[in-house]
Structure 1
Amino acid sequence: MAPTRSRLLQHTSIAVRSYAHTVHPHRQFPAPLPLLISPGVPLTSELPRPDHSDPRGSVRLLLNELLVHATGDLCARMCWTLRLFHKDVVLRYGVLLYGWPADVPFMNLSTGHGSPSMAQVRHLLALLAAEPQPRMYFIRATREQLLAAELDISAVAPGPLFPAPVPLPYLGRSNIGRRRVFKRNTDGITIPHRYIRNGPKSVKMISEEVDLEGDGASAVNRCRGPLPQMFKDGTWLVWTERGWREPTALERLEWSSAE
């Protein structure tokens, strides 16, 4: 009985070992996923190699090359002010810049007040030098987008027009919007303030007669075209019901006569 059991165990071990080492010739492994390539966007290897020691110059160079590739015009150049970008890039070639970061203001990269920091410029360069294709490139604008661009200059801005506001510094204790706390003694009686606050108070509402008094500066401000206005890149933009636009010659003449 014992030899028979040992032979059965031996055959079982051989069968298990042979099954474990069996090769399946028809077994198919999953194919690697293909890289997502955006049509119409050149590969990073086809663009000039960026110089990381000069990030500003590299960003300008790569965007110029991408604009040439998108428009087919060898003389096409990127514009870094909203007015020129609207006129010489968007309306001229019918393209829009896609992929500009939302936390980087769209303005001249040169050093100056409010210009992007070096960290933000390097972030732009990283988007342009990404593999296998840049993550910031030009796309063909639709008819609706071009119509909106003709009515509103700010509609073509790739990113914010102004840098993010800097938080105000802490200048001490502030009790604006807080409920006044009255101190009480052990008997529950309110302790009066050390000083009596009986200084002058401003009125809650200013009448139109008081507003029109003086040298008439408020009346002049009302005549300076439709409000509000925005001074951006050395030019004034006026707000209308359709959006931001450049003032007409008649409006400029009225403003100069009002001044």
Structure 2
Amino acid sequence: MHPTAAGPILTVRGLEKSYNKLRVIKGVDLDLHRGEVLAIIGPSGSGKSTLIRCLNLLEIPTAGEIAYEGRRVENRFKSRGGNIGCGELRRHVGMVFQHFNLFPHKTVLQNICEGPVAVLKEPREAVEERAMELLGKVGLLDKRDAYPNHLSGGQKQRVAIARALAMRPDVLLLDEVTSALDPELVGEVLQVIRLLANDGMTMAIVTHEMSFAADVADRVAFIDGGQIAELGTADSVIRNPASERLKSFLSRFNA
């Protein structure tokens, strides 16, 4: 949960994203350090999800640069020269989505094993062993042979987290992973993320769970109007907000 002294694992400079004439992200600079948990907060429509989806090129930035461990990320699948392509980037930077995106026709175990076997070409036996370890970590060993339509929303999201971890990413991006869940199921997913933070997993998390962000994040970025309006420790941003805009935003939550 504490960032190391080494340089940032992900670097963003001058990031822009527009859809036709609508500028959604407006010149964002951001560093994510290995072992750090960064929470990204802000009002709906502020650009939080667009920003995090740009970090592994699920959304292609209109301008600016992203670097992974000092290597510039290019909008091409394969790496060339000293740069890195989005295919290699996504092996290092995993993503967990709001709506799970599980394969409905595959079991829980098959969902988790698909990426390492098909993409990383790892032997299935080793992958299944790793998948069982991850199912134990997220508390779903008994669901290995279940299909997604037999799982609760919280269980689906925990499977989605295990599936992302099966690819052995260095960074995990989580985009509002509790916002589609019934309130009573939110806690079980947040507990898994808390365990990952305690294990030192590098994460950037878009969230509306302010108390969770205050407890778990090393730093918090407040996004407003497509820009980082405030960035600092969880204590300074959430518990002691400086601007009236941030105070107004936080007043809607019990942080």
Shorter-chain TM-score category?
Answer: under 0.3
Normalised to the residue count of structure 2, the TM-score between the two structures is: 0.21
Q: Who wins on radius of gyration, i.e. which is larger? A: 1
Tell which has more relative contact order, 1 or 2 (C-alpha 8 A, sep 6+): 2
Normalised to the residue count of structure 1, the TM-score between the two structures is: 0.21
